[in-house]
Amino acid sequence: METIVLTGAAGLVGSVLRGPLRAEARRLVLVDREPLTAEAANEEVRQADLSSAEDVAAVIEGADGVVHLAGIPDEAPLPDLLQANVLGAHHVLEAARLTGVRRVVLASSNRLTGLYPATRTVSPQDPVRPDGLYGVSKAAVEALGRLYADKFGLEVVCLRIGSLEPEPTEARHLATWLSPRDCAGFVLAALRHPGVRFAAAYAVSANTRAFWELPDELGYRPVDDAEGYRIEGAESFFTEGTPQGGDFATPGYTLLRGRLPTASA
Ligand SMILES: NC(=O)c1ccc[n+]([C@@H]2O[C@H](COP(=O)([O-])OP(=O)(O)OC[C@H]3O[C@@H](n4cnc5c(N)ncnc54)[C@H](O)[C@@H]3O)[C@@H](O)[C@H]2O)c1
């Protein structure tokens, strides 16, 4: 690709993708509200806040593909999630439409379906069951992506990212782990696989205990498997009564971080 724009480039996922995207593009534009420093001749950095549609259009103009990661990656008050995740994605999609970007890859999340039981295999065709307000914000992000694909002809891939970690460290990761190498593989495929108008797909390693269907439409088969790592407590996690979101799916997780009032005694 000639030019790729990566938003949220200073974050955890962005840091993993930076090298592989640099190798893919003649020009890689790294965008974040935090300062960044170019590390290669084909990198350009832009400090910008995606809360302004005009600023987004200015930074993505001329891109062949945009990987949009910037946002809040966990439970938070809904107004904050709507601003950062939903309006941020809308600004990127709208700027892509206006400036003629061909393909946009949106960071979605496995937490969109975190209230399915850990014993169930879930596919992107299943109805969403968000495990919190963050998951709700990603459902809205995917709906925006679908709208811009169906109505305006953009190519949009929503990647439901699993748990990106150097290696799995807890029982839930036996199903949800996404290795850095598979993360890069999914994102590169989402950017360049031909013939995709819209796709919502789980990005997860080839875990023996994965509870999400792997996508066929992106042409990437993951290679890593969490099963080879020594993890305590695995059997008690993979039961009917455990939600896929694990601790994220508990009421307390949302009550505390979403700052919702609790019922008085
Ligand atoms: N890390 C994971 O395992 C995981 C799992 C599922 C989904 N995701 C999604 O992937 C994306 C990246 O996650 P992450 O873990 O790297 O998060 P992160 O918090 O480490 O990085 C997010 C980056 O976005 C930037 N940012 C936030 N709001 C911005 C704005 N308005 N304008 C410009 N920059 C802004 C932040 O400065 C930060 O550098 C998020 O959309 C998240 O929901 C991540």
Cα separation, 215 vs 60, whole angstroms: 28
Q: Does ligand 1 come within 6 angstroms of the Cβ of 4?
A: no
Report how far ligand 1's centroid is from the alpha carbon of 263 (Å).
Answer: 32
Mean pLDDT, range 51-67, rounded to an integer:
92
Q: Does ligand 1 come within 6 angstroms of the Cβ of 56?
A: no
pLDDT at residue 265 tops 70: no
Report how far ligand 1's centroid is from the alpha carbon of 172 (Å).
Answer: 21
Full-prediction pTM beyond 0.95?
yes
Is 148 one of the catalytic residues? no
In angstroms, the Cα distances linking 41 to 44, 95, 143, 156, 221 are 8, 26, 37, 29, 31
Q: Does ligand 1 come within 6 angstroms of the Cβ of 163?
A: yes
Q: Whose CA is nearest to atom 15 of ligand 1?
A: 12
Mutate to test the pocket of ligand 1, among 69, 157, 163 (most ligand atoms within 8 A of CB): 69
Q: Does ligand 1 come within 6 angstroms of the Cβ of 12?
A: yes
CB 110 within 8 A of CB 212: yes
Mean pLDDT, range 34-57, rounded to an integer:
94
Q: Give per-residue pLDDT as tens, 169-226.
A: 999 999 999 999 999 999 999 999 999 999 999 999 999 999 999 999 999 999 999 9
Mean pLDDT, range 9-37, rounded to an integer:
98
Atom of ligand 1 nearest to the CA of 111: 6
- Count other C-beta atoms under 10 Å from residue 45's C-beta: 17
Looking at residue 263, its pLDDT comes to: 83
Which residue is listed with tokens 């919702």?
260
Which string of b and e fits 227-237 if b means at least 16 CB within 10 Å?
beeebeebeeb
Domains of the chain in start order, with CATH, are: 3-257 (3.40.50.720)
Cα separation, 231 vs 241, whole angstroms: 20
Q: Whose CA is nearest to atom 23 of ligand 1?
A: 8
Report how far ligand 1's centroid is from the alpha carbon of 30 (Å).
Answer: 13
Atom of ligand 1 nearest to the CA of 164: 3
Question: What are residue 178's DSSP bridge partners?
Answer: 164
Which residue is listed with tokens 């036996």?
174
Catalytic residue among 134, 202, 220, 253: 134
- The secondary structure of residue 132, as a DSSP letter, is S
